[in-house]
Structure 1
Amino acid sequence: MLGDCCRAIGDASSAVTYFEESVEFLSKLPKDDLEITHTLSVSLNKIGDLKYYDGDLRAARSYYFQSLNVRRDVMKHNSNVTSQVLDVAVSLAKVADVDRNIGDEKLATDGFQEAIDLLESLSLESEGSGLEQRRLSVLDFLRNQLADKTEQTEQTV
Protein backbone atom coordinates (compact mmCIF):
# COMPACT_ATOMS: atom_id res chain seq x y z
CA MET A 1 0.00 0.00 0.00
CA LEU A 2 2.87 2.39 0.73
CA GLY A 3 4.23 1.73 -2.75
CA ASP A 4 0.87 2.60 -4.27
CA CYS A 5 0.69 5.81 -2.22
CA CYS A 6 4.17 6.87 -3.29
CA ARG A 7 3.35 6.09 -6.90
CA ALA A 8 0.16 8.14 -6.66
CA ILE A 9 2.05 11.22 -5.44
CA GLY A 10 4.73 10.81 -8.10
CA ASP A 11 7.53 9.41 -5.94
CA ALA A 12 8.49 6.48 -8.17
CA SER A 13 11.79 5.82 -6.42
CA SER A 14 10.15 5.30 -3.02
CA ALA A 15 7.39 3.27 -4.65
CA VAL A 16 9.95 0.89 -6.16
CA THR A 17 11.65 0.57 -2.76
CA TYR A 18 8.38 -0.37 -1.05
CA PHE A 19 7.39 -2.80 -3.78
CA GLU A 20 10.85 -4.40 -3.59
CA GLU A 21 10.40 -4.82 0.18
CA SER A 22 7.06 -6.48 -0.53
CA VAL A 23 8.67 -8.83 -3.05
CA GLU A 24 11.47 -9.71 -0.64
CA PHE A 25 9.01 -10.46 2.17
CA LEU A 26 6.51 -12.38 0.04
CA SER A 27 9.26 -14.45 -1.61
CA LYS A 28 10.03 -15.98 1.78
CA LEU A 29 6.46 -17.19 2.34
CA PRO A 30 4.94 -20.48 1.15
CA LYS A 31 4.10 -20.48 -2.56
CA ASP A 32 0.97 -22.60 -2.12
CA ASP A 33 -1.19 -19.68 -0.96
CA LEU A 34 -2.95 -18.05 -3.93
CA GLU A 35 -3.27 -14.67 -2.21
CA ILE A 36 0.45 -14.55 -1.41
CA THR A 37 1.52 -15.50 -4.92
CA HIS A 38 -0.97 -13.10 -6.47
CA THR A 39 0.31 -10.23 -4.33
CA LEU A 40 3.90 -11.20 -5.16
CA SER A 41 3.19 -11.18 -8.90
CA VAL A 42 1.35 -7.86 -8.65
CA SER A 43 4.25 -6.26 -6.75
CA LEU A 44 6.68 -7.50 -9.42
CA ASN A 45 4.43 -6.08 -12.15
CA LYS A 46 4.19 -2.73 -10.39
CA ILE A 47 7.97 -2.46 -10.23
CA GLY A 48 8.05 -3.45 -13.90
CA ASP A 49 5.52 -0.73 -14.71
CA LEU A 50 7.56 1.91 -12.92
CA LYS A 51 10.76 0.82 -14.67
CA TYR A 52 8.87 0.80 -18.01
CA TYR A 53 7.58 4.35 -17.50
CA ASP A 54 11.09 5.41 -16.50
CA GLY A 55 12.42 4.05 -19.81
CA ASP A 56 14.41 1.19 -18.27
CA LEU A 57 12.97 -1.48 -20.55
CA ARG A 58 15.48 -4.20 -19.66
CA ALA A 59 14.68 -3.87 -15.96
CA ALA A 60 10.95 -3.71 -16.71
CA ARG A 61 11.20 -6.92 -18.72
CA SER A 62 13.08 -8.62 -15.90
CA TYR A 63 10.36 -7.79 -13.37
CA TYR A 64 7.54 -8.67 -15.77
CA PHE A 65 9.25 -11.98 -16.54
CA GLN A 66 9.63 -12.77 -12.83
CA SER A 67 5.92 -12.08 -12.38
CA LEU A 68 5.15 -14.31 -15.37
CA ASN A 69 7.17 -17.14 -13.83
CA VAL A 70 5.35 -16.79 -10.48
CA ARG A 71 2.01 -16.86 -12.29
CA ARG A 72 2.95 -19.81 -14.51
CA ASP A 73 4.01 -21.79 -11.46
CA VAL A 74 0.69 -21.04 -9.75
CA MET A 75 -1.22 -21.99 -12.91
CA LYS A 76 0.58 -25.36 -13.08
CA HIS A 77 -0.84 -26.24 -9.67
CA ASN A 78 -4.19 -24.46 -10.10
CA SER A 79 -5.06 -24.81 -13.77
CA ASN A 80 -8.74 -24.91 -12.88
CA VAL A 81 -8.61 -21.36 -11.46
CA THR A 82 -9.66 -19.12 -14.35
CA SER A 83 -8.23 -15.96 -12.83
CA GLN A 84 -4.77 -17.58 -12.79
CA VAL A 85 -4.95 -18.27 -16.53
CA LEU A 86 -5.98 -14.66 -17.16
CA ASP A 87 -3.09 -13.43 -15.01
CA VAL A 88 -0.61 -15.49 -17.04
CA ALA A 89 -2.00 -14.04 -20.29
CA VAL A 90 -1.66 -10.49 -18.95
CA SER A 91 1.94 -11.19 -17.91
CA LEU A 92 2.71 -12.64 -21.33
CA ALA A 93 1.34 -9.43 -22.88
CA LYS A 94 3.51 -7.24 -20.63
CA VAL A 95 6.67 -9.17 -21.51
CA ALA A 96 5.76 -9.17 -25.21
CA ASP A 97 5.11 -5.43 -25.17
CA VAL A 98 8.58 -4.79 -23.75
CA ASP A 99 10.09 -7.22 -26.26
CA ARG A 100 8.48 -5.22 -29.06
CA ASN A 101 9.77 -1.94 -27.64
CA ILE A 102 13.26 -3.38 -27.27
CA GLY A 103 13.12 -4.39 -30.93
CA ASP A 104 12.67 -8.16 -30.67
CA GLU A 105 9.56 -8.48 -32.83
CA LYS A 106 9.77 -12.28 -33.15
CA LEU A 107 9.81 -12.77 -29.38
CA ALA A 108 7.00 -10.22 -28.99
CA THR A 109 4.83 -11.91 -31.61
CA ASP A 110 5.42 -15.30 -30.01
CA GLY A 111 4.45 -13.92 -26.59
CA PHE A 112 1.28 -12.26 -27.85
CA GLN A 113 0.33 -15.44 -29.72
CA GLU A 114 0.95 -17.64 -26.66
CA ALA A 115 -1.35 -15.40 -24.63
CA ILE A 116 -4.02 -15.54 -27.35
CA ASP A 117 -3.81 -19.33 -27.51
CA LEU A 118 -4.09 -19.55 -23.75
CA LEU A 119 -7.17 -17.34 -23.63
CA GLU A 120 -8.83 -19.03 -26.60
CA SER A 121 -8.44 -22.42 -24.90
CA LEU A 122 -10.12 -21.09 -21.77
CA SER A 123 -13.82 -21.78 -21.52
CA LEU A 124 -15.92 -20.05 -18.93
CA GLU A 125 -19.24 -21.35 -17.69
CA SER A 126 -21.03 -18.04 -17.53
CA GLU A 127 -20.68 -15.83 -20.61
CA GLY A 128 -21.77 -12.76 -18.65
CA SER A 129 -19.27 -13.14 -15.84
CA GLY A 130 -16.73 -10.47 -15.02
CA LEU A 131 -13.96 -12.95 -15.79
CA GLU A 132 -15.39 -13.59 -19.24
CA GLN A 133 -15.53 -9.88 -19.91
CA ARG A 134 -11.92 -9.54 -18.78
CA ARG A 135 -10.89 -12.52 -20.92
CA LEU A 136 -12.53 -10.99 -23.99
CA SER A 137 -11.01 -7.57 -23.29
CA VAL A 138 -7.49 -8.98 -22.96
CA LEU A 139 -8.01 -11.19 -26.02
CA ASP A 140 -9.12 -8.17 -28.05
CA PHE A 141 -6.05 -6.21 -26.93
CA LEU A 142 -3.72 -9.10 -27.85
CA ARG A 143 -5.27 -9.58 -31.27
CA ASN A 144 -4.92 -5.86 -31.93
CA GLN A 145 -1.23 -6.05 -31.03
CA LEU A 146 -0.69 -8.70 -33.68
CA ALA A 147 -2.93 -6.95 -36.21
CA ASP A 148 -1.14 -3.62 -35.73
CA LYS A 149 2.20 -5.25 -36.49
CA THR A 150 0.79 -7.02 -39.55
CA GLU A 151 -0.54 -3.72 -40.88
CA GLN A 152 2.80 -2.00 -40.25
CA THR A 153 4.64 -4.79 -42.06
CA GLU A 154 2.29 -4.62 -45.04
CA GLN A 155 2.73 -0.83 -45.27
CA THR A 156 6.52 -1.08 -45.36
CA VAL A 157 6.53 -3.80 -48.04
Structure 2
Amino acid sequence: MKANDLFDCISARSSITKAEAETWLSSPDLRLRAVAVGCFEKVRNFSKIQPPLTQREWESYYLNYLFECVDAKISGDDWIHSAYEACWDLASLFNLYVCENRSAVTLKDIADRFGRLLISDDSKKTIVINGFLEHIDRAARRRVMKDWHSDPSLRAAYIAVESWLY
Protein backbone atom coordinates (compact mmCIF):
# COMPACT_ATOMS: atom_id res chain seq x y z
CA MET A 1 0.00 0.00 0.00
CA LYS A 2 1.20 3.51 -0.80
CA ALA A 3 1.43 6.18 1.87
CA ASN A 4 -1.35 8.38 0.43
CA ASP A 5 -3.60 5.35 0.05
CA LEU A 6 -3.03 4.50 3.72
CA PHE A 7 -4.01 8.01 4.78
CA ASP A 8 -7.25 7.77 2.77
CA CYS A 9 -7.90 4.28 4.14
CA ILE A 10 -7.48 5.28 7.79
CA SER A 11 -9.46 8.48 7.35
CA ALA A 12 -12.38 6.77 5.61
CA ARG A 13 -12.83 3.76 7.87
CA SER A 14 -14.83 3.66 11.08
CA SER A 15 -12.74 0.85 12.54
CA ILE A 16 -9.30 -0.65 12.03
CA THR A 17 -8.17 -3.98 13.38
CA LYS A 18 -5.27 -3.99 15.80
CA ALA A 19 -3.45 -6.37 13.43
CA GLU A 20 -3.78 -3.86 10.56
CA ALA A 21 -2.55 -1.00 12.73
CA GLU A 22 0.43 -3.05 13.94
CA THR A 23 1.29 -4.02 10.36
CA TRP A 24 1.35 -0.38 9.29
CA LEU A 25 3.19 0.80 12.42
CA SER A 26 5.91 -1.83 11.95
CA SER A 27 6.22 -1.57 8.16
CA PRO A 28 9.79 -1.56 6.80
CA ASP A 29 8.68 1.41 4.67
CA LEU A 30 9.45 4.47 6.83
CA ARG A 31 7.06 6.69 4.87
CA LEU A 32 4.19 4.25 5.38
CA ARG A 33 4.99 4.15 9.10
CA ALA A 34 5.11 7.95 9.17
CA VAL A 35 1.60 8.12 7.72
CA ALA A 36 0.34 5.57 10.24
CA VAL A 37 1.97 7.45 13.13
CA GLY A 38 0.64 10.78 11.84
CA CYS A 39 -2.87 9.41 11.55
CA PHE A 40 -2.90 7.52 14.85
CA GLU A 41 -1.55 10.51 16.78
CA LYS A 42 -5.03 11.94 16.31
CA VAL A 43 -7.47 10.62 18.91
CA ARG A 44 -10.26 10.23 16.38
CA ASN A 45 -8.13 7.78 14.38
CA PHE A 46 -6.40 6.09 17.33
CA SER A 47 -9.81 5.24 18.81
CA LYS A 48 -10.69 3.36 15.59
CA ILE A 49 -8.20 0.60 16.46
CA GLN A 50 -10.07 -2.45 17.79
CA PRO A 51 -9.10 -3.96 20.09
CA PRO A 52 -7.11 -0.88 21.09
CA LEU A 53 -3.35 -0.72 21.32
CA THR A 54 -2.13 -0.38 24.88
CA GLN A 55 -0.24 2.77 25.83
CA ARG A 56 2.96 0.72 26.05
CA GLU A 57 2.42 -0.79 22.58
CA TRP A 58 1.78 2.64 21.05
CA GLU A 59 4.84 4.14 22.75
CA SER A 60 7.02 1.30 21.52
CA TYR A 61 5.95 1.84 17.90
CA TYR A 62 6.24 5.61 18.26
CA LEU A 63 9.69 5.53 19.87
CA ASN A 64 11.00 3.09 17.24
CA TYR A 65 9.65 5.32 14.48
CA LEU A 66 11.20 8.47 15.96
CA PHE A 67 14.60 6.84 16.44
CA GLU A 68 14.56 5.59 12.87
CA CYS A 69 13.79 9.14 11.71
CA VAL A 70 16.85 10.40 13.60
CA ASP A 71 18.96 7.65 12.09
CA ALA A 72 17.65 8.18 8.53
CA LYS A 73 18.12 11.98 8.60
CA ILE A 74 15.42 12.60 5.96
CA SER A 75 14.24 16.16 5.47
CA GLY A 76 11.59 17.80 3.36
CA ASP A 77 9.08 14.95 3.46
CA ASP A 78 5.45 15.77 4.16
CA TRP A 79 5.06 12.81 6.50
CA ILE A 80 8.43 11.67 7.83
CA HIS A 81 9.81 13.59 10.80
CA SER A 82 13.15 15.25 10.14
CA ALA A 83 15.92 14.12 12.48
CA TYR A 84 15.56 17.32 14.51
CA GLU A 85 11.75 17.05 14.73
CA ALA A 86 12.12 13.46 15.92
CA CYS A 87 14.69 14.53 18.55
CA TRP A 88 12.41 17.31 19.79
CA ASP A 89 9.53 14.83 20.17
CA LEU A 90 11.86 12.38 21.92
CA ALA A 91 13.04 15.15 24.26
CA SER A 92 9.43 16.00 25.13
CA LEU A 93 8.66 12.34 25.80
CA PHE A 94 11.81 11.89 27.86
CA ASN A 95 11.02 14.93 30.01
CA LEU A 96 7.48 13.59 30.49
CA TYR A 97 8.79 10.13 31.40
CA VAL A 98 11.15 11.64 33.99
CA CYS A 99 8.27 13.67 35.48
CA GLU A 100 6.06 10.58 35.56
CA ASN A 101 8.85 8.53 37.20
CA ARG A 102 8.80 6.00 34.38
CA SER A 103 10.77 2.85 34.89
CA ALA A 104 14.53 3.11 34.85
CA VAL A 105 14.53 0.47 32.10
CA THR A 106 12.53 2.74 29.76
CA LEU A 107 14.75 5.72 30.47
CA LYS A 108 17.92 3.64 30.10
CA ASP A 109 16.70 2.22 26.80
CA ILE A 110 16.19 5.73 25.40
CA ALA A 111 19.57 6.86 26.76
CA ASP A 112 21.32 3.82 25.29
CA ARG A 113 19.71 4.38 21.89
CA PHE A 114 20.84 8.00 21.89
CA GLY A 115 24.29 6.87 22.98
CA ARG A 116 24.54 4.58 19.95
CA LEU A 117 23.42 7.41 17.66
CA LEU A 118 25.88 9.77 19.28
CA ILE A 119 28.87 7.62 18.38
CA SER A 120 27.61 6.48 14.97
CA ASP A 121 28.81 9.57 13.04
CA ASP A 122 29.54 13.26 13.58
CA SER A 123 26.40 14.54 11.87
CA LYS A 124 24.22 12.45 14.19
CA LYS A 125 26.28 13.64 17.16
CA THR A 126 25.34 17.23 16.33
CA ILE A 127 21.68 16.28 15.90
CA VAL A 128 21.61 14.42 19.23
CA ILE A 129 23.26 17.30 21.09
CA ASN A 130 21.23 20.10 19.49
CA GLY A 131 17.96 18.27 18.95
CA PHE A 132 17.71 16.14 22.07
CA LEU A 133 20.18 16.91 24.84
CA GLU A 134 19.67 20.69 24.65
CA HIS A 135 15.91 20.19 24.98
CA ILE A 136 15.77 18.06 28.08
CA ASP A 137 16.17 19.58 31.50
CA ARG A 138 19.45 19.29 33.34
CA ALA A 139 18.27 16.52 35.70
CA ALA A 140 16.96 14.50 32.76
CA ARG A 141 20.20 15.08 30.86
CA ARG A 142 22.19 13.74 33.80
CA ARG A 143 20.01 10.61 33.78
CA VAL A 144 20.62 10.12 30.05
CA MET A 145 24.37 10.49 30.37
CA LYS A 146 24.70 8.72 33.74
CA ASP A 147 26.69 5.75 32.40
CA TRP A 148 28.35 7.44 29.44
CA HIS A 149 31.45 8.63 31.31
CA SER A 150 32.39 5.04 32.20
CA ASP A 151 31.71 3.58 28.73
CA PRO A 152 34.90 3.68 26.61
CA SER A 153 32.93 4.12 23.38
CA LEU A 154 30.88 7.03 24.79
CA ARG A 155 33.47 8.72 26.99
CA ALA A 156 34.68 11.17 24.32
CA ALA A 157 31.07 12.03 23.41
CA TYR A 158 30.27 12.49 27.10
CA ILE A 159 33.17 14.94 27.52
CA ALA A 160 32.12 16.82 24.38
CA VAL A 161 28.52 17.09 25.54
CA GLU A 162 29.58 18.18 29.02
CA SER A 163 31.79 20.93 27.61
CA TRP A 164 29.19 21.99 25.05
CA LEU A 165 26.18 22.21 27.36
CA TYR A 166 27.65 23.20 30.72
| TM-score (norm: length of structure 1) | 0.48
| TM-score (norm: length of structure 2) | 0.46
Task: Kindly indicate which of the two structures has a greater share of residues assigned to helix.
Answer: 1
